Structure 1
Amino acid sequence: MEQPIHHFSDLFAQLGLPSDGESIEAFIRQHSPIPEGTRLADAECWNESQADFLRQAIERDADWAEIVGHLDATMRNDPRT
């Protein structure tokens, strides 16, 4: 069975956040970089429900895991550099 393909816009919508490109870029600029040693789900920018979703996506290797991993990598970069 083929895994669904999710995009950042799908993930942000799933998290209950604005999911248009401009809003996603603004969110990433505002909350990046995540401090070294901090797991994505433990970053201060998430509410409890969002953090649980992100944590479970990775722990359960859910179909969301790939895009959550991509978000993690993106949010570790300093957008000002």
Structure 2
Amino acid sequence: MLGEPEYNMNELFAQLGLESSDEAIDKFIANNQLAKEEKLTESDIWNDNQRMFLQEEWSKDAVWVETIDELNVRLHPDA
């Protein structure tokens, strides 16, 4: 029997089709800092499928929303 999936940053990056090691996530975040006024889901760092996933999960207040919020905070250090 499989346990409940984990909704953490590593799993979110895997879900987005990105390298999901801690080091790769830290590097992605460091290399893709967003301007204060730039919305996470409107950034050009995502392809269409990634953007759609983030928008849908955010709008539905789905299971990923807390992790997406954490990513948003980490990509907006000056906010």
The separation in 2 between residues aligned to 1:19 and 1:59, in whole angstroms, is: 24
1:61 corresponds to which letter in structure 2? D
Runs of 5+ in structure 1 lacking a partner?
none
Q: After TM superposition, give the deviation of residue 36 of structure 1 in Å.
A: 2.1
TM-score (norm 1): 0.85
In structure 2, give the amino acid aligned to 1:73: V
Runs (4 or more) in structure 1 with deviation over 2 Å come to none
Structure 1 counterpart SS, 2:45: coil
* Aligned counterpart, 1:64: 64
Q: Report the equivalent of 2:24.
A: 23
**Is residue 15 of structure 2 the alignment partner of residue 14 of structure 1?**
yes
Give, in whole Å, the separation in 2 of the partners of 1:35 and 1:16.
Answer: 24
Residue 41 (structure 2) aligns with: 41
**Inter-partner Cα distance in structure 1 for 2:5 and 2:72:** 19
Task: Give the fraction of aligned pairs with identical amino acids, expressed as a percent.
Answer: 33
Aligned-pair RMSD on alpha carbons?
A: 1.5
TM value normalised by structure 2: 0.87
Matching of residue 53 in structure 1 with residue 53 in structure 2: yes
The 3-state SS of whatever aligns with 1:44 is coil
Rounded to whole Å, the distance in 2 between the matches of 1:64 and 1:49 is: 16
1:4, distance to aligned residue in structure 2 (A): 5.9
Unpaired segments ≥5 residues, structure 2: none
Contact 1:4/1:63, CA 8 A, preserved across alignment: no
